[in-house]
Chain A
Amino acid sequence: MSDFTKIAFFMFFGIAFVFGSMLVVRLLSTSKYDPIKSLPYECGMDTIGPTWIQFQNNYFMYALLFLVFDVETVFLFPWAIRFSQLGLMAFIEMVLFVAMLLLALWYAWKEGVLEWS
């Protein structure tokens, strides 16, 4: 149980430190309201235009497609390193895997995801 006691000890003091320091700051600091201080903070500049504008959601589609190929790389890399030991079966499996991902890209292409409108 001594290991758990140590962990409990660390957890207690870790949490106590965070809330303790917040409490100390709250006690020591002075707080004055100032309209300039409460302006929205945007890299130090004044904001230009309304801040609640909408973004193009095309970015979302690109991110999704990127993820497909990102994950593909994660699997391709260890496979490529051990390629000579793995043999023909692994090669066929990898071809199937890439083919399925290409099918997904083909579908996205057909559905017009790649066109910026």
Chain B
Amino acid sequence: MALDISALVPELLVIGLGLLLLIIHILQRQPVPANPIGWVAFLAFTAIALFVVWRMPVAEVTWGGTWLVDPLANFFKILFLLAAALVSLASITSLAGQSRFASEYFVLLSMATAAMMCVISAGDLLTLYVGLEFLAITLVVLTALDRGTAASEAGLKYLILNAISSAALLYGFSLLYGMSGSLVLGEIATIIAGGATQAWAGLALPVAIVLVLSGFAFKTSLVPFHMWSIDVYHGAPTPITAFFAIGSKAAGFAVLIRVFMKLFIPWAAAWVPALIVLSILTFTLGNLVAIPQTDIKRFLAYASIGSAGYIIMGMIAATRGGIEAMLFYAMIYVFATFGAFAVATAVQAQTGSTAISALAGLSKRSPFLALTMLLCTLSLAGVPGLAGFIGKFYIFWAVIDQGYAWLALLGIIVSILSVYYFLLLAKVMYVNDPPAESAIIRVMPSMRLALAVSVFATVFFGVYPGPLINLVTQVAARFIS
């Protein structure tokens, strides 16, 4: 059997980038500063993203269905590469002071991106699991790279809790393998769809669905599987926190879409109620617990949990419209969340603090940072005119279409409540006086570019969402049919 390597080219390019950065690091006598490497990583990630865009029309299923290069996979690969490119730019600021591990940091960032690309292209359970573990290991090291107490604690917490969630996921996978005798998603789907009268359809299949769902709920940090995320988000370097929130979470949603829409759709009546409970718990708790937070990273961590509660609503609809809405929301959520975390990175780099009080009077110390934070958080809250509004509208429309108007209403009410705490943050930045000894906050050119991109995307897709809606419509149509 001749292996067709061409299906793997984007992943090989990203891994090649990581290895190249490692070789550069080994050949240098002095530790390489973050500034040139971050730019190299940014340009390489952008170039690979453009390459994936260029190859997107091609639909391939390779190696007996174990490796899928469908439009869904390509869409999420573009999302991961964009996230990695933006995070590379923000990392230049956060690594500027202590560049001891700068090259290792970008090597690991490349590897984590490659891992996420493996996760979304995986066509069988084993590749999927290996991809998820590959991702988790790189993220553990990235989290603990700062070597402080908080960072080590966060890394260890993520390692142990991720192992538990992996155990649940693996148990679910082993039950699926036991029922169908296959690891390939397409084959399992055929066998379990035709097996409603089999003995296992009554007990083993529901258990498998619950275990797989809880494993993925951990990756996407849905309440009550969110416990790890707050401390890990708090302890990790701030750009890596953004990467967790936009990349790792999107990877979780991507596999959730693939596995649930391909395998478990005949049993939708059984798992949709479970998802409704998870969704309500997640957006309510995420949005309400964000209010009393005094640390910007914890605040944004809870806000991102709240967003996950909305994204998962697309799965509750379990229709093409629902998938479209999830893809749309996931993409605009990248820019809004990244922008907010990037502002936190810039403020932290100068003041050394992640307290919300460190943002006081930000509009006077750096109007650009304050405006970015305002637009990104208002987009997350779903204020009309910004991309987040279109995203929430799309999601709520998909669930109302399936007869869950009450759920959408609840979502809208909590969403309006969330505007309250985002406006509290705006008050701190625009009304409160800056601390007495504070200075103008300097923003590096790399950070300026990253923030400008996220603000531009947030406003652009809010005013003119047509191109992105076209894209997600095509991707979802190709995936469902």
Which residues of chain A have a CB within 8 Å of any CB of chain B?
A: 89, 100, 103, 106-107, 110
| Contacting pair B19 A106 (CB below 8 A) | no
Q: Determine chain A's interface SS by DSSP, over half rule.
A: helix
CA distance A108 to B385 in the complex (A): 52
One of B2, B3, B19, B26 near A110 (C-beta < 8 A): B26
Chain B contact-residue range equals under 10
Q: How far is the CB of B372 from chain A (nearest CB, A)?
A: 37
Residues of B within 8 A of A107 (CB): 22, 25-26
| Contacting pair B2 A89 (CB below 8 A) | yes
- What residue of chain A has the Cβ atom nearest to residue B15's Cβ? A100
User: What are 13 A-B contacts defined by CB distance under 8 Å?
Assistant: A89-B2, A89-B3, A100-B19, A103-B19, A103-B22, A103-B23, A103-B26, A106-B26, A107-B22, A107-B25, A107-B26, A110-B25, A110-B26
Residues of A within 8 A of B23 (CB): 103
Other A-B contacts than A100-B19, A103-B22, A106-B26, 10 sampled, CB-CB below 8 A, are A89-B2, A89-B3, A103-B19, A103-B23, A103-B26, A107-B22, A107-B25, A107-B26, A110-B25, A110-B26
CA distance A110 to B25 in the complex (A): 9
Which residues of chain B have a CB within 8 Å of any CB of chain A?
A: 2-3, 19, 22-23, 25-26
Residues of A within 8 A of B3 (CB): 89
Q: How far is the CB of B32 from chain A (nearest CB, A)?
A: 12
Residues of A within 8 A of B26 (CB): 103, 106-107, 110
CA distance A100 to B114 in the complex (A): 15
- What residue of chain A has the Cβ atom nearest to residue B12's Cβ? A96
- What residue of chain B has the Cβ atom nearest to residue A109's Cβ? B26
Q: How far is the CB of A24 from chain B (nearest CB, A)?
A: 36
Residues of B within 8 A of A89 (CB): 2-3
Q: How far is the CB of B421 from chain A (nearest CB, A)?
A: 45
Residues of B within 8 A of A100 (CB): 19
Q: How far is the CB of A6 from chain B (nearest CB, A)?
A: 18
Residues of A within 8 A of B19 (CB): 100, 103
CA distance A103 to B21 in the complex (A): 12
Residues of A within 8 A of B2 (CB): 89
CA distance A89 to B2 in the complex (A): 8
